[in-house]
Amino acid sequence: MNNSIGLVRFNLVAFFICSLLTISFSQSPYQLDKKKELSILGVGAGTLGMGLYLRGQTPLYTRGELESLIKSSISKFEKIALDNYSISAHNASNVFFYGSYGLPLLFLADKTTRKDMGTIAAMWGEVQLLNSGLTVLSKYSFRRTRPFVYNPAVPVDDKLTSNARSSFFSGHTSTVAANTFFMAKTFSDYYPESKWKPVVWGTAVTLPAVTGYLRVRSGKHFPTDVIVGYAIGAAVGYLVPHFHKRKRKGSKKDILSFSY
């Protein structure tokens, strides 16, 4: 998470709100509900807003505090990350991070999902908002020190930022997991009989795992940071479309509609 986080999150919220002003395709496996979407918007915006507030309240390390950090307080399982510091691993993780945002665009390739892009976009916006809110709130509630802060080879200036105290949990891993699991779940709901489902799900499981490895290798996160990030992101990416599955025939509402 960098210093442009506020602008990025604002754009996600704006995108989400605009996406809600769409009408679902009648053959969609999903249905939108005004109250449900506004509730998700409230939870996502609330957690994100609180997280950004706490970020602004996070005290920076002093040089004296850095010198007093003790490696022996870190568990044996987590210590594998302490001596890691790899710019190439960090850059590679960014490729997975930013690349995962383009996955929903693949739904434009098919006629059925292309007609339903409004609904897909709305759900994807919810995934981004919820995952971002939970990630930022966790980071600046726990204020866990990143592994590279313990590494004497890392420049001190890199340790004197709020980012140095935002290890738990991994935003890169949670974001990639949210995007890939959303993609796989949505694909499965539109094409339940597709022979490509094992490939899609295999890719969804693998990409965030690789991202998590790279985050540990780069010295940005401890193993538990990426494990929890993976779990949270995967849950959000899977459950948002799951909770939007269309009701069976005979239900009172099938499509979200707005009156202007």
> Encoding tokens for residue 99?
């690349």
**For residue 186, is it within any domain?**
yes
CB 9 within 8 A of CB 52: yes
Residue 248: per-residue pLDDT: 64
**For residue 206, is it within any domain?**
yes
Residue 5: per-residue pLDDT: 54
Write down the residue that tokens 């499509």 correspond to: 255
Residue 134: per-residue pLDDT: 96
**For residue 91, is it within any domain?**
yes
**For residue 251, is it within any domain?**
no
* Domain coverage including residue 174: 5-62+76-242
Could you give the CA distance from residue 128 to residue 120 in angstroms, rounded to a whole number?
12
Q: How many domains does the chain have?
A: 1
**For residue 68, is it within any domain?**
no
**For residue 37, is it within any domain?**
yes
Write down the residue that tokens 């998590």 correspond to: 212
**For residue 254, is it within any domain?**
no
What amino acid occupies position 44? Answer: G
Could you give the CA distance from residue 150 to residue 54 in angstroms, rounded to a whole number?
23
Residue 258: per-residue pLDDT: 33
Residue 77: per-residue pLDDT: 94
**For residue 69, is it within any domain?**
no
Instruction: Please give the distance of CA 110 from its chain centroid, rounded to a whole number.
Output: 25
pTM: 0.87
SS3 245: strand
End-to-end C-alpha distance for the chain, whole angstroms: 38
Q: What is the mean pLDDT of each run of 10 residues along the chain (260 residues)?
A: 48 54 66 89 94 93 90 90 94 96 92 91 94 96 96 91 94 97 97 95 98 97 98 97 80 40
